[in-house]
Amino acid sequence: MISLEGHDILSAKQFTREDLEYLLDWSIKIEQDKKKFSECMKGKIMGTLFYEPSTRTRLSFESAMLRLGGSVTGFSSATVSSVKKGETLADTIRTVANYTDLIVLRHNNDGAAKHAATFSDVPVINAGSGSGEHPTQSLLDLLTIRQECGKVDGLNIGLIGDLKFGRTVHSLTYLLANYDVNLFLISPHSLKMQNRVMDYVQGMGNVKITETTEFLKTLPNLDVIYMTRIQKERFPDPEEYESVKDVFKFEKKHLSSLKSNAKIMHPLPRVNEISPEIDDSSHAIYFKQTYYGLMMRKAIIGLIMGVIK
């Protein structure tokens, strides 16, 4: 692919390793020369259509667009749009495509972004689709890993928590499938990584995978500890959620078992899975990760709109 101009971003599977390096490098170049890019989106409008709650994804996309000199419109809850009156996603997309140059969509259905793209005359970015994927989160996660660990190949990376419903870990696993990493998938048995994701990674043949329920025993091996929230809103049965909600908690006492350079990441929001006592530790990089989100989303917007090449 390499040139993203005019493309949708629907799945992390769409990127080759070369594409990923290109996107990561552009995120850094824009950051190093902020002023040069501060007007490059002038006259362009981005629509953010968020049918599900969001803080970081929506605001970092909007901030990225504004910092590139563009404008933003949209809604942050389906309840304030005509969705409330029963409008279909297809009709909303057909309409908003007339008003904007780029659409960023978050939706509760797994296939929503793909569906939306078929009705849109402008590029669509999947900003989280149900328990399916969240490709731009995984791009910023990859950027964070590369910048903070100095490399991706050779790392021991642990994805921890809700690997069944968590869309960020699905997309991150698809991206990591391009690298020679050791991936530790740590979850309760009932929340293990979905087969379709496992099949894809195994098919790519680069990653060594270990599936385990042992959080504390695995911690000392890890270079990256990627914690996730148990996705309460996706559980059909509230009792089932109650039984796993606090299954893995990273507490202060666990810091001593980490490798000296280990990094703790989290897509956020966190609930109980990381104690706030950890926040000041040099291992904790989850707030820094949110800044990498702004950097990555500037690159994504600029490349899709063809103003950066």
The active-site residue, picked from 58, 134, 170, 229, is 134
Binding mask 69-108 for ligand NCD (x = CB under 6 A): ----------------------------------------
Active site residue 84: no
Q: Which residues contact 129 (CB under 8 A, 6 or more apart)?
A: 105, 106, 107, 109, 110, 111, 112, 113, 114, 167
Helix, strand, coil shares, percent, the chain, to 5: 45, 15, 40
268 versus 308: smaller Cβ distance to ligand NCD = 268
Active site residue 229: no
101 versus 141: smaller Cβ distance to ligand NCD = 141
103 versus 308: smaller Cβ distance to ligand NCD = 103
The minimum distance between CB 167 and ligand NCD, in angstroms, equals 5
Site for ligand NCD in 215-234 (CB under 6 A): 229
The active-site residue, picked from 57, 100, 144, 228, is 57
Cβ neighbours, 10 Å, residue 207: 17
Active site residue 136: no
Active site residue 167: no
Cβ neighbours, 10 Å, residue 289: 24
Asked whether the beta carbons of 122 and 101 are under 8 A apart, the reply is yes
Q: Which residues contact 153 (CB under 8 A, 6 or more apart)?
A: 179, 180, 181
116 versus 140: smaller Cβ distance to ligand NCD = 140
137 versus 218: smaller Cβ distance to ligand NCD = 137
167 binds ligand NCD (CB under 6 A): yes
48 binds ligand NCD (CB under 6 A): no
In a 10 Å sphere around its CB, with 0-12 CB exposed, 13-18 middle and 19+ buried, how is residue 216 labelled? Answer: exposed
Choose, by CB under 6 A, the member of 168, 171, 173, 178 that binds ligand NCD: 168
SS3 at position 260: coil
CA 35 to centroid of chain Cα atoms: 26
56 binds ligand NCD (CB under 6 A): yes
Binding mask 110-129 for ligand NCD (x = CB under 6 A): ------------------x-
SS3 at position 144: helix
Choose, by CB under 6 A, the member of 44, 107, 115, 134 that binds ligand NCD: 134
In a 10 Å sphere around its CB, with 0-12 CB exposed, 13-18 middle and 19+ buried, how is residue 233 labelled? Answer: exposed
Choose, by CB under 6 A, the member of 268, 303, 304, 307 that binds ligand NCD: 268
Q: What element of type H or E holds 125?
A: strand 124-129
Active site residue 88: no
**CA-based nearest residue to 225, from 294, 278, 164, 292:** 278
Residues binding ligand NCD: number (CB under 6 A): 10
Active site residues: 56-57, 85, 106, 134
Q: Which residues bind ligand NCD (CB under 6 A)?
A: 56-57, 128, 134, 137, 167-168, 229, 267-268
